[in-house]
Amino acid sequence: MKTELLIYNPDMTARFRYIAEWMFMDVLGVGVEFTSDRDTVLNPTLPVLNYSVERVGNEPFIRACGLLESSALELPEVIPVPFRGSSGLFPSSHDSLMPFDPFAACFFTITRMEEYFATERDEHGRFRHDQSVLVSMGVSGKPIANIWCRFLADSLKEVYPSLVFPIMPFRFLPTIDIDNAYAYAGKSIMRNLGSAFRQMGVMGVSGFTERLKVLMGQMSDPYDTYDYLLSHFKGHEQDVRFFFHLGDRSRFDTPVSWRSRRFRNLVRTIHRHFQSGIHPSCLASLDTGPETMLKEKQRFVTITG
């Protein structure tokens, strides 16, 4: 990747290098170099962007808000900043290229930094999305970090019209999580009986009839769409990923048993055509998670050979 931009930062930290490379190289497709030498900024051979707390010369400048200069895991003060019909985070200064700090904003967002400081969590111990600052800003449904990168690119092009930001190719990677491979098939008689009685209480006789027809081979299991998937993705197998739940049953885990012959045959069939792996169980997220996940991985290896 050709280097197109020189970024000045006298306090080069791991945080800043990480986010700057992500923004320019991964999102915008532009190679960057870094310098902490003021003379290089005054006599540049490339377009320059100054990210620090003070100007060096007349180069475009973004005042650093301080988040990326720190290595502490502390929740910063998060202040939205209106900009070009949207909003950014972390106010910059009146003489900055942009009124907010796009580097800090992107770092805060893609590292999901706010989730480390949640005071309320859901029943699974997860961060509640309605607590996110992005929800309060009305941008949670948008690729906001990518939008901020584009704002920065557009602002730089106003200063350096010859600076080229290529159109990055789009790639769609379907990932299919199979947490419960079959509604009725592949499950024990006792499990089907227990589920049938519960189902009748909710759906009446119709639900029981469907289950009975599936178990008697008179109709397909409603979750059995695997022949369709094999046909639909034919010729694009390298672009699809499957992940199977191979954990034990628990309050939040209700998979088909990994010992089920039908399920094991399904895993082998899918694995022959697609890249596949495990979708860790809820139990794998608990304190014994590493041990549990290793057990589930070994089951996958045993099944697929």
Which amino acid, 236? H
pLDDT the model gives residue 221: 87
* 69, 136: one domain: yes
* 118, 242: one domain: no
What is the chain's pLDDT, residue by residue, as a tens digit (305 residues)? Answer: 788 999 999 999 999 999 999 999 999 999 999 999 999 999 989 999 999 999 999 999 999 999 999 988 888 999 999 999 999 999 999 999 999 999 999 999 999 999 999 888 888 888 999 999 999 999 999 999 999 999 999 999 999 999 999 988 888 899 999 999 998 887 766 565 556 556 655 555 556 676 667 777 788 888 999 999 999 999 999 999 999 999 998 888 889 999 999 999 999 999 999 999 999 999 888 877 789 999 999 999 999 98
pLDDT the model gives residue 283: 87
Q: Token pair of 65, please? A: 């808000």
Q: For residue 1, count other CB atoms closer than 10 A to its CB.
A: 10
- Please indicate, yes or no, if residue 293 is contained in any of the structural domains: yes
- Please indicate, yes or no, if residue 192 is contained in any of the structural domains: no
* 149, 7: one domain: yes
pLDDT the model gives residue 252: 87
* 128, 244: one domain: no
* 49, 96: one domain: yes
* 100, 31: one domain: yes
Range of the domain at 126: 3-159
pLDDT the model gives residue 188: 67
Question: Total domain count for the chain?
Answer: 2
- Please indicate, yes or no, if residue 194 is contained in any of the structural domains: no
* 39, 71: one domain: yes
- Please indicate, yes or no, if residue 218 is contained in any of the structural domains: no
